[in-house]
Amino acid sequence: MRVSVVIPVYNEADVIAECLKSLSEQRYGDFEIILVDDGSTDNTLSECQMSNVKCQIFKQKHKGAGAARNFGARHAKGEILVFVDADMTFEPDFIEKLVNPIIKGKTKGTFSKEEYVENWDNIWARCWNINQGWPDEKRHPKDYPDEDKVFRAILKSEFDKTGGFIPGGYTDDYSLYEKLGYKSEAAPEAKYYHKNPESLPAVFRQAIWVGKRPYKLGYLGYLVALVRTSFPISLAVGLAKSIVNLQPTFVLFKAVYDFGVFWGILSYVVYGKGSK
């Protein structure tokens, strides 16, 4: 079955070439790469062209990752869609392992629990794991279930039934599950690597995106989230986790992260936009 790999990119000049090179080394025989530039203002497109990796490149105004994935899927010729991010790299058999359960008819969509932190030597990347409650070097909690709301690969026929992702910021990945009513299944041994934010400005930007989304219970949910990310709470949690994890810099990380989420919530409430 032919596979279409869709990559949304927004100001990813520092990572996209490595991602494309990794995809070009995949052992899976029949796949295309579709890259959707979501209004980048840096030299992302130049980096893509200089990589010499064959891919289709499309452009759109900045609308967020969900809208970019939808745009790419509309141009896909594959029977299976694979959605990845620009800051990911992959083992040579990643696509093969990821889509194998779909090809064998065992499921209609998959994800992988074999997701590792690529930049573990970076202090802020390690702090990101502490904040998320993930084990060292991995991007999933221990004993993670074999089903997930996020689809890393899905039959295009199933994707088309949904009309695509609902662009909504951090949680737009879940919208296929919400429309389909079933979860993706874990694809064994589909190993890949994903960078955590590795500077405080990057942490802040990512945290804003995390905050810019709908919350359960409406305005009450927003209020609870604002309280949880307020400076006194942030400082207390940051100090406690920095002691438990023997990581003094986590206090600063937590303050920056929570302020970003706080700002993202206010931005979403006022402007109602979830674009990254």
Q: Where are the beta strands (DSSP E) in 95-181?
A: 109-111, 115-117, 147-148, 153-155
- Would you kindly state where each structural domain of the chain is located, as residue ranges? 3-112+148-187, 200-271
Contact by Cβ (8 Å): 30, 62:
no
Instruction: Quote the tokens at residue 103.
Output: 């090809």
pLDDT one-digit tens code per residue, 42-77: 999 899 888 889 999 999 999 889 999 999 999 999
Contact by Cβ (8 Å): 237, 251:
no
Report which of 220, 83, 207, 199 is spatially closest to residue 148, judged by C-alpha positions: 83
**Residues contacting 185, CB < 8 A, separation 6+:** 101, 106, 107, 109, 110, 111, 146, 147
Look at residue 59 and give its three-state secondary structure: strand
CATH assignment, 3-112+148-187: 3.90.550.10
Backbone angles phi, psi at 98, to 5 degrees: -65, -40
**pLDDT computed for residue 273 by the predictor:** 61
Q: How far apart are CA 78 and CA 258, in angstroms?
A: 40
Distances (CA, A) of 26 to 164, 184, 237, 253: 26, 22, 42, 36
**pLDDT computed for residue 274 by the predictor:** 56
Instruction: List per-residue pLDDT tens for the chain, 276 residues long.
Output: 999 999 999 999 999 999 999 999 999 989 999 999 999 999 998 998 888 899 999 999 998 899 999 999 999 999 999 999 999 999 999 999 999 999 999 999 999 999 999 999 999 999 999 999 999 999 999 999 999 999 999 999 999 999 999 876 777 888 999 999 999 999 999 999 999 999 999 999 999 999 988 888 888 999 999 999 999 999 999 999 999 999 999 999 999 999 999 999 999 888 766 555
Q: CA-CA-CA-CA torsion for 137, 168, 16, 256, nearest 10 degrees?
A: -50
CA triple 185-188-192, angle to 5 deg: 100
Instruction: Quote the tokens at residue 222.
Output: 């927003």
pLDDT one-digit tens code per residue, 3-25: 999 999 999 999 999 999 999 99
Look at residue 163 and give its three-state secondary structure: coil
Containing 129, the helix (H) or strand (E) segment is helix 123-132
